Amino acid sequence: MIRARRVRVVATLGPASSEQAQIAELHRAGADVFRINMSHADHGLMRTLVSRIRAVEKDAGSPITILADLQGPKLRVGKFADGPIMLADGDTFTLDADSAPGDQNRVQLPHPEILRALEPGHRLLLDDGKVALKVTESTPTKAVTVVTVGGKLSDRKGVSCPDTLIPVGALTPKDRADLDAVLDADVDWIALSFIQRPEDLAEARKVARGRAGILAKIEKPQAIERLDDIIELSDALMVARGDLGVEMPLQDVPSLQKRITRAARRAGKPVVVATQMLESMITAPVPTRAEVSDVATAVYEGVDAVMLSAESAAGQYPVEAVATMDRVARSVEADETYRSILKAQRYEPDATGADALAAAARQIAETLSINVIACYTSSGSTVLRVARERPTAQIFALCPRVETARRLGIVWGVTSMTTTPSDDLEDFIADAGVRVVDAGLGRTGDRLLAVAGVPLDTPGVTNVLQLAFIRSRDER
């Protein structure tokens, strides 16, 4: 399926979109990647969703990408004896290790590792920041706080610790079990939540062993502080603006979004922007003007993908939400300003042969008005280098492994497809030419750019750039 846009659309599946017919409709409307949120899906439901997506993929005749999003460590307060309490500014309130139900003065924080890590001056944000506390005294078993933003607090509300380096890994026991399950189901990407440091990626990478790409969700201040190291150890990034906006000042989120997306592009790693992009479409058939501008801003920034969460998972208008994303992206990409922004953000290629060839491919395609850059790629690295250049030409990824073709579905501007494994460069070029003609992007005799690594089927090698002519099927 050749999309009429370069940015990709990620749609979260849920009660409003879990049936096979609904998934197919979302795909037709423009969804390129389907996200399964493991905070809400058990292993049985996850396997069912994967099976239904693969059935839609078979009917569509083109690879579809699946992203499994692990829950990560969820911090919550305990329960209250007599229901919700009201905290006023200036009140003293204690979080402790006592399992007894809470009251107006205290409640359990059933996370001893957090209590040990808290220090005077640290902030605690409860219920998505609706209540804010500041630690005044701390011991390994309790933290005495003063209320800086009052409000209602009830059972099991979430806790964020923006100033505290949490001394636990990003994978909880639930996440480890979920990781094994999604890998067995052959998902393409695994998103890790609440990453704080590059070490948080190590365990998942060790378990995955290359069977799925690892996507780091940036949603904590500690991750921003070590962003470059996290980018280096991840395969892709997500700007998770929901939790990022809770733990950091809201006014800082737009600039952080730009910083993260540009750092990812510089590194040649796919980047996804997520959270509340079309939030009003959970209950309304059309978005607000501000939401359209938000989506457009991300597309102008050159991100690889934009994501729908509750809009497609539980909203009343999931197909309309995907279609709206598609229309906004296509409108932005048709704007002359879009191309000038991408050009202004272009980075000098790294001093490697592969990056130099990718930059040359983009420049030659633009100079000669070539419609397609065809890449033969076993691991996907060739395509990532070309996509980093944000060329005006379509990027065709011909992959001998279906796993690679699926994984590339999250990458800007890439149409991925499977091909027969080959060790002959001319066969690859001939095959690419036929596909270009079949897609309506060229005719026999048109020029085509081919990028590959010779010998073919050697992962991580990009050493050939060839200008060729499209041959007819009879000439193959």
Distance between CA atoms of residues 90 and 301, nearest Å: 42
Span(s) in the chain for CATH 3.20.20.60: 8-73+170-332
Q: What is the DSSP letter of 75?
A: P
From residue 265, how far is each of 79, 301, 396, 436, 476 by CA, in Å?
Answer: 44, 10, 19, 27, 37
- Residue 461 is predicted with a pLDDT of 79
| Cβ proximity of 38 and 71 under 8 Å | yes
pLDDT at 167: 79
Which CATH code of 3.20.20.210, 1.10.3860.10, 2.60.40.150, 2.40.33.10 fits the domain covering 85-160?
Answer: 2.40.33.10
How confident is the model at residue 457, as a pLDDT?
Answer: 73
Locate CATH 3.40.1380.20 in the chain.
353-475
Domain with CATH 2.40.33.10 in the chain: 85-160
Indicate which residues carry an active-site annotation.
35, 76, 217, 275
Positions in the chain short of pLDDT 70: 473-476
The CA-to-CA distance between both ends of the chain, in Å, stands at: 24
Say what the pLDDT of residue 217 is.
Answer: 97
8-73+170-332 under CATH 3.40.470.10, yes or no: no
The pTM assigned to this predicted structure is 0.93
The pLDDT score that the predictor gives to residue 169 is: 76
- Token look-up 């991840």 returns 234
pLDDT in tens, 150-202: 999 999 999 999 999 887 777 999 999 999 999 999 999 999 999 999 999 99
Q: What is the pLDDT of residue 319?
A: 98
Q: Which CATH class is domain 353-475?
A: alpha beta
